[in-house]
Structure formats: C-alpha cells, structure tokens
C-alpha cells in the first residue's frame, strides 16, 4: 500500500510540474501576441479613402493588381481582430495579413533588409 501511495504522489508531483511548464509556455506565447506591431492587410479591390477614419488611421495603398493594402501600427491582437472584423463587415475578400518586422518594411520597397 505504501508503494501505491508513493507512486500516486510521484505522479501528482510530475503532473504539477508539467502543468506549471505548460502555463509558463502559454503565458510566454500570450505575451508575444499582445505586443504592438506593424501589420499589412491585403484585400481584394480598391478601398475608397473615405474609409480611412473607420480603419483607425491605417494607410491605404492601391496596387496595380486591383488590391488594397492597409498598413500601419496595431496595438495588440485584439485590435488586429477588430480591423479584420471591419474588413469582413464590408464584405471585402481578405487576401493576406502580414506582421511586418522592424526593417522588413524597407525590404518590401525593394531595399535590402538591414
């Protein structure tokens, strides 16, 4: 009976360690996703500039392929989801969402990444 209790206690301790490790990983992942960043949202069609205020000051770039790129800073994932909801509410086909790393914006203009 003592061996069974020791085995159960050992399993409980091991499970608690695993739970703590998983919580640490989840917390780190959550922190990574809650940081501000610059995003580019590509949609099909040319969005009229009158929508700029509704998209909270993001810049609009009309591409020659008939798409619009909304770009600018987004404070966190909740704000990003809010922007994507607005795209959905307008009925616009979403083509891509890109998190732009610092220095990557220069590369998108044809300049080398620093």
In terms of Cα–Cα distance, which of 37, 40, 32, 38 is closest to 97? 40
Segment 11-33 mean pLDDT? 63
Q: Does 49 share its domain with 83?
A: yes
Q: Does 3 share its domain with 58?
A: no
Q: Does 9 share its domain with 29?
A: yes
Range of the structural domain that residue 73 is part of:
37-108
DSSP-assigned beta bridge partners for residue 71: 40, 59
Question: Is residue 46 situated within a structural domain?
Answer: yes
Q: Does 100 share its domain with 44?
A: yes
Please give the pLDDT value at position 9.
Answer: 67
Counted domains in the chain? 2
Please give the pLDDT value at position 111.
Answer: 32
Whether the pLDDT of residue 110 is over 50: the answer is no
Q: Does 50 share its domain with 93?
A: yes
Helices (H), the chain: 2-33, 77-89, 104-108
Question: What percent of the chain lies above the pLDDT cut of 70?
Answer: 66
Question: What percent of the chain lies above the pLDDT cut of 90?
Answer: 45
Tens digit of each residue's pLDDT (9 = 90 or more) over 31-43? 555 667 999 999 9
Q: Does 27 share its domain with 46?
A: no
Whether the pLDDT of residue 15 is over 90: the answer is no
Most confident region among 9-13, 25-29, 37-41 by mean pLDDT:
37-41
Please give the pLDDT value at position 34.
Answer: 60
Please give the pLDDT value at position 12.
Answer: 63
For all residues of the chain together, what is the average pLDDT?
78
């Amino acid at each position: 009976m003592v061996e069974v209790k020791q085995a159960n206690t050992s399993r409980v301790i091991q499970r608690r360690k695993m739970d703590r490790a998983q919580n640490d990983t989840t917390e780190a992942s959550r922190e990574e996703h809650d940081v501000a960043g610059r995003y580019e949202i590509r949609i099909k069609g040319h969005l009229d500039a009158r929508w700029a205020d509704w998209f909270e000051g993001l810049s609009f770039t009309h591409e020659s392929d008939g798409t619009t790129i909304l770009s600018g800073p987004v404070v966190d994932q909740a704000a990003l989801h809010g922007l994507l909801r607005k795209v959905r509410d307008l009925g616009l086909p979403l083509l891509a969402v890109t998190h732009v790393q610092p220095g990557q914006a220069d590369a998108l203009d044809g300049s080398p990444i620093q």
